[in-house]
Structure 1
Amino acid sequence: MSFMESIKWVMQYVRKHPWGSLFVFFTSIIEPILYMIPIFISADIVGILVDGGGWDDIWQSYQILILLASIQVVLFFASSFLNEVLAHRITTDMTYDLFESLQSRSLTYHNAKDTGDIMARATNDTRSVNMGLSPGVRMLLATAAIWAVAGWILYTVNPYLTVVMFVIFVVFMIMTFQYGIKIAPLSNQVLEELAVISSTTSDTLTGIRDIKAYTSQHIFKKNFAKQTYQQAATKEREGSLGAWFYPDLMVRFLVLSMVGYALYLTNQGDMTIEELVLITLALALVAGMSEEMNWIAFVSVGAFAAIERLHQFMTEPDPHIIDDGTVNFENLPASIEFDNVTFSYPNTKIPALDGVSFKIEDSQTLAIVGSPGSGKSTLTKLIQRLYLPQQGEVIVGNNPITAYTNESLRENIATVEQEVFLFNDTVQENIGFGKPGTPLENIVDVAKIAKSHAFIEEFEEGYQTIIGEDGVRLSGGQAQRISIARAILMNPEVLIFDDGASALDSKTEAEIQNAISDILRTRTTIITTHRLAIIAKADQILILEKGKMVGFGPHEELIQSNIFYRNLFEKHFELPPLVPRGD
């Protein structure tokens, strides 16, 4: 990713705010020019004093200084305030686009990314860009304007000094650029190390229960300390370079030399006291602003590093992205067919599903059984179009699954998974997640069906109870019942239970099954479970073993002819003799 491409990318955001950008640009230049006008007035006052002028003449000039000071205060406030507002709006736009980009990425992409790194880019990197825009850009423009006006002042007094100052300016900018090149790798390293710290923090907070359960706090504490000390050392190296900002030292030495030369000319009678004061004050202002270039260069390099990281991240290709279809999944039979489907996860040569073919009709229930790692959950993810098979085709409603729009397809598919994800929000908002704005009475109705209403009512704040991040304040069974209620509320055409009742006791699961039995009769239902009573009631049963389909059919047929299926039952039931297929 080239530097110029990143600059063009950030300029797209600047152009979204043309009037604010133009105002900040011009006021950043006008403001320092106004600082130069008092230099002329101060030189005039000195000249009046040297010539023996009266107080009336001085007071007139002093009144102009007071007026200019008032204008400067107002202009400084307006420029600083609008520059800050503009910077925040630009970085807010960036953060929003980053969030939108992440939502459009494929599940394969997210599986390969580190959450902590993403959080660091959304916070640390955008903050660095914000600092570069405000006050970095304004101060950079102000410095350039002061150099230009100071050069013009020197030209009116002594053209030779202007030539010297121009040479100093060119050398100063070259040295500042070289300084930026030296500090850039450290700035980028600081951002990367902050991302690592953010990742460790995220992992620690997410897995705090397991960390405490395994008494592993000391391991994470040691890793965190190592990472923070490493990042501090990098910051110290970066800071030491900033402290030795040699371009500023060079400017100060040469400015002092030029002032000395002006004093010599004044002593020889070739320069007036008024001109000496004018040159001295102008050069002092140049030296002061050159000192600011230390901070400006430091912030700008960090901002450019952050811009490149954000640009690279947001424009990174996603080869696994799933293009949106054009067909709406409406008024179509919710039949599901797998036609010789083979799927492998990235970076693995072992197929999660290998040549799987089956079909279930609309409103049928399919139970998927198999040992851990046999491909059950993978199959349900293909039905949701979270992944696409490398070979074969998934057909839903007599159309290839790729034909549907993402929105219409997923509005008609609800999933209850073993690992339930809940938001740090109220019970009501978690149940109504799929249908925002659902009235409370409807939320209560589905909660009753999912056998969660009773325990919700026991909470002090009932349905307005905040359940904590990932439902940390709920038991596993409670969390699954909230998830079941959420899925029922969606009123989907396809309902998937991916071991979605594993945390429930048999009695509660049976109660929920009975409560939703009428719903299931009018829905295509996919169930992955180890509960034999539920498996036997399914219309069709799919048996997977190491990604391959080793059986498909109703319970009565499989129990007599399929050895894999019989192995599930024979420890608990007396089975009829095995009947080979074709007999």
Structure 2
Amino acid sequence: MKELKHLNKYFKKYWFKLFMGILITIIARVFSLVMPSYVSKSIQTAEDAFAKTISGTVAKELLLEYILIIIGAALLSALFTFLMRQTIINVSRYIEYDLKNEVFDHYQFLNLNFYKKNRIGDLMNRISEDVNQVRMYAGPAIMYGMNTLTMFVCIIPLMFIKAPTLAAYTLIPLPILSVLIYQISKIIHKRSTKVQEFLSTLSTFTQESFSGVAVIKAYGLEPKINDELNGLAIQGKNTSMDLAKVNAWFFPLMILLIGISNIFVIYIGGRQYINGEIASIGIIAEFILYVNMLTWPVAIVGWLTSIIQRAEASQKRINEFLKEQPTIKNEVKELTPIEGDITFKNVTFTYEDTNITALNNISFTIKAGETVAFLGKTGSGKSTILDLVARLYDVSSGTVLIDNVPIQQKNLNSLRSSIGAVPQDAFLFSDTIENNIRFGNENASLQEIKEIAKKAVVHENIEGFAKKYDTILGERGITLSGGQKQRVSIARALLKDPRIFLFDDCLSAVDTETEEEILTNLKQLSQNKTTLIVSHRVSSAKNADKIIVLENGSIIQEGTHEQLNNVDGYYKELYLSQLSEKE
């Protein structure tokens, strides 16, 4: 159970509730123990009345008193059992809440390489299914475990006090049961791990299928996907059945062994009663009740073992991710101002997951308030420059300076809150258009959102929808066209009003007339703000203060539109090519 030690901090946090729950559990079980002894007394009273050792009136009075005591104890036991569930089970929900938040918060701190190496379905499964398995350990397992322990501690001594020989025979099956549980639990642990791993695979497959449903339909891949899902379903069935087959041994074995205990009680107890070794047949009835009261605690041992083994396997999977450390760390705790000067000094960057060198010893300087455009073929390193400015990655060698200070010496929150980024693949949330734009500034009014949407040339499109700004977007903004998604993302960045704008080919799905209008508005809004534009179009770059052309991670041209257009090279060829296409 070493992996489950991670939960100790939560048990300390809720120690008082747990303590009260355990105390209530003990009280509830003590009250439940009243019934067997008073059943024995009731039978003894009936025997005495039959033997004429007490009068019928006294016997009736005693029987009525015992019955009332049994009913009262049962009601009190039921009340405390209810309170037991209200305390311990509630604690398990609090721990589930805390653990999910811990995992999610940790996810947010991990760098992009982590998400490239791990599948979304696996991440989702660990924060949902795995945490749920751990919750079962933190609540039901503790509750039933304490219940079982209390019953053993109370009942077994009582049995030996009242009839030692009968108790010894009755309890013979329990050690056998313990050995069987130990052997079976080891198998359960291995098979539980396989089940959890399979659930991650299934979650990943379904998530990717739903996200890519447009491609699946376009290529007519439904039969192929169904066949793959059928294969996964068969694999899942077999994996779960392997676990179920082992779990299926628990209850039959326990019922068998408890049945053997009952046979011992009746046979050995009957012989002792006949031989006069026990005073009343009520003792036999009491022992039968004790054995049956032990049935569920003994049976629950197997279930508890299964829960703990599953929780151990799940917590191990959770801990694997919690042990992951982000490579991008906020080294400066106090907030640092951002003016917008950006300098790359001999920067080289290689992607860890692919080992591709995206940038190779590049250097340039951007002054605060300048607009700089980056052009080049696909894979030339343009988007990587924006990622390094936002410090989504750290350079392999060289230095990135912000305001003449190494970027690592800037507070990470200050840096990113000073950046308004529009990624190449515009991402929108399953929410209203209004809230998607407000993501840039949560305090913005609807009027401010509309004004900024006009600057992004998307206001008229939004007004054309039936619910206008209250239109709910599908997942990843599927409700909108590519150009509309890009313009909503631009509006979001403009609303943030940052010191630095990062536009990563965000006008690729927009026609040239709309592009020209957006760029004109952008020029007004980005005055005195550092703006980096990545594009494949000269039209997006020509009005920039500086244009940098990249090829294979190296700078091959640098200058203004006029300067670059007057020399032979990539930029002039691109300009003439796109100009002829436009004409």
Normalising by structure 1, report the TM-score: 0.93
Alpha-carbon distance in structure 2 between the residues aligned to 1:226 and 1:261: 56
Query: Could you tell me which residue of structure 2 aligns to residue 308 of structure 1?
Result: 316
Cα pair 2:152 2:294 within 8 Å, conserved: yes
Alpha-carbon distance in structure 1 between the residues aligned to 2:151 and 2:164: 17
Alpha-carbon distance in structure 2 between the residues aligned to 1:562 and 1:163: 101
Alpha-carbon spacing, 1:536–1:149, altered in 2? closer, same or farther (3 Å): same
Q: Which residue of 520, 530, 540 maps to 2:536?
A: 530
CA drift of 1:523 comes to: 1.2
Query: Could you tell me which residue of structure 2 aligns to residue 386 of structure 1?
Result: 392
CA drift of 1:520 comes to: 2.3
Alpha-carbon distance in structure 2 between the residues aligned to 1:321 and 1:457: 41
Query: Could you tell me which residue of structure 2 aligns to residue 435 of structure 1?
Result: 441
Q: Does 1:353 align with 2:342?
A: no
Q: Which residue of 191, 205, 212 maps to 1:207?
A: 212
Q: Does 1:256 align with 2:253?
A: no
Cα pair 2:116 2:353 within 8 Å, conserved: no
Normalising by structure 2, report the TM-score: 0.93
The 5-angstrom pairing of residues 304-453 of structure 1 reads 304-318=312-326, 320-326=327-333, 328-330=335-337, 332-453=338-459
Give percent identity, aligned residues only: 28
CA drift of 1:343 comes to: 0.5
Q: Which residue of 57, 74, 80 maps to 1:75?
A: 80
CA drift of 1:176 comes to: 1.7
The 5-angstrom pairing of residues 266-281 of structure 1 reads 266-272=273-279, 273-281=281-289
Alpha-carbon distance in structure 2 between the residues aligned to 1:133 and 1:263: 44
Q: Which residue of 286, 294, 297 maps to 1:289?
A: 297
- Tell which deviates more after alignment, 545-554 or 34-43: 545-554
Q: Secondary structure at the match of 2:13?
A: coil
Deviations 1:210-246 (A, max 9, x none): 1111111222222222112211112112111111127
What amino acid sits opposite 1:15 in the alignment? K
Alpha-carbon spacing, 1:534–1:309, altered in 2? closer, same or farther (3 Å): closer
Q: Secondary structure at the match of 1:127?
A: helix
What amino acid sits opposite 2:61 in the alignment? D
Q: Does 1:178 align with 2:183?
A: yes
Cα pair 1:551 1:562 within 8 Å, conserved: no
Deviations 1:237-290 (A, max 9, x none): 211111112752445434533442222211211112122222222122213432
Moved over 6 A (4+): none
Alpha-carbon distance in structure 2 between the residues aligned to 1:369 and 1:64: 89
Q: Secondary structure at the match of 1:394?
A: strand
- Tell which deviates more after alignment, 488-497 or 287-296: 287-296
Q: Secondary structure at the match of 2:401?
A: strand
Alpha-carbon distance in structure 1 between the residues aligned to 2:568 and 2:550: 12
CA drift of 1:151 comes to: 0.9
Alpha-carbon distance in structure 1 between the residues aligned to 2:463 and 2:30: 68
CA drift of 1:296 comes to: 2.7
What amino acid sits opposite 1:276 in the alignment? I
CA drift of 1:401 comes to: 1.0
Cα pair 2:173 2:260 within 8 Å, conserved: no
CA drift of 1:364 comes to: 1.0
Cα pair 1:328 1:409 within 8 Å, conserved: no
Alpha-carbon spacing, 1:417–1:317, altered in 2? closer, same or farther (3 Å): closer
Query: Could you tell me which residue of structure 2 aligns to residue 581 of structure 1?
Result: none
CA drift of 1:336 comes to: 1.0
Cα pair 1:333 1:397 within 8 Å, conserved: yes
Deviations 1:184-221 (A, max 9, x none): 11111111111111111110111111111111122222
Q: What are structure 1's unaligned runs of at least 5 residues?
A: 575-583
Query: Could you tell me which residue of structure 1 aligns to residue 23 of structure 2?
Result: 26
What amino acid sits opposite 1:543 in the alignment? V
Alpha-carbon spacing, 1:324–1:439, altered in 2? closer, same or farther (3 Å): farther
Cα pair 1:414 1:487 within 8 Å, conserved: yes
Cα pair 2:374 2:548 within 8 Å, conserved: yes
Alpha-carbon spacing, 1:139–1:39, altered in 2? closer, same or farther (3 Å): same
Cα pair 1:259 1:279 within 8 Å, conserved: no
Query: Could you tell me which residue of structure 1 aligns to residue 474 of structure 2?
Result: 468
Alpha-carbon spacing, 1:452–1:543, altered in 2? closer, same or farther (3 Å): same
Q: Secondary structure at the match of 1:368?
A: strand
Cα pair 1:329 1:412 within 8 Å, conserved: no
Q: What are structure 2's unaligned runs of at least 5 residues?
A: none
CA RMSD of aligned residues (A): 1.9
Give the length in aligned residue pairs. Answer: 569
CA drift of 1:463 comes to: 1.4
What amino acid sits opposite 1:301 in the alignment? Q
Alpha-carbon distance in structure 2 between the residues aligned to 1:210 and 1:122: 28
Cα pair 1:151 1:165 within 8 Å, conserved: no
CA drift of 1:162 comes to: 4.8
Query: Could you tell me which residue of structure 2 aligns to residue 298 of structure 1?
Result: 306
Alpha-carbon spacing, 1:255–1:303, altered in 2? closer, same or farther (3 Å): farther
CA drift of 1:329 comes to: 4.2
Alpha-carbon distance in structure 2 between the residues aligned to 1:478 and 1:570: 29
Alpha-carbon spacing, 1:339–1:165, altered in 2? closer, same or farther (3 Å): farther
CA drift of 1:356 comes to: 0.8
Alpha-carbon distance in structure 1 between the residues aligned to 2:371 and 2:131: 49
Query: Could you tell me which residue of structure 2 aligns to residue 542 of structure 1?
Result: 548
Cα pair 2:347 2:397 within 8 Å, conserved: yes
- Tell which deviates more after alignment, 28-37 or 99-108: 28-37
CA drift of 1:572 comes to: 5.0
Cα pair 2:112 2:392 within 8 Å, conserved: yes
Q: Does 1:123 align with 2:131?
A: no
Alpha-carbon distance in structure 2 between the residues aligned to 1:93 and 1:431: 30
Query: Could you tell me which residue of structure 2 aligns to residue 37 of structure 1?
Result: 34
Query: Could you tell me which residue of structure 2 aligns to residue 46 of structure 1?
Result: 43
CA drift of 1:175 comes to: 2.8
Cα pair 1:370 1:544 within 8 Å, conserved: yes
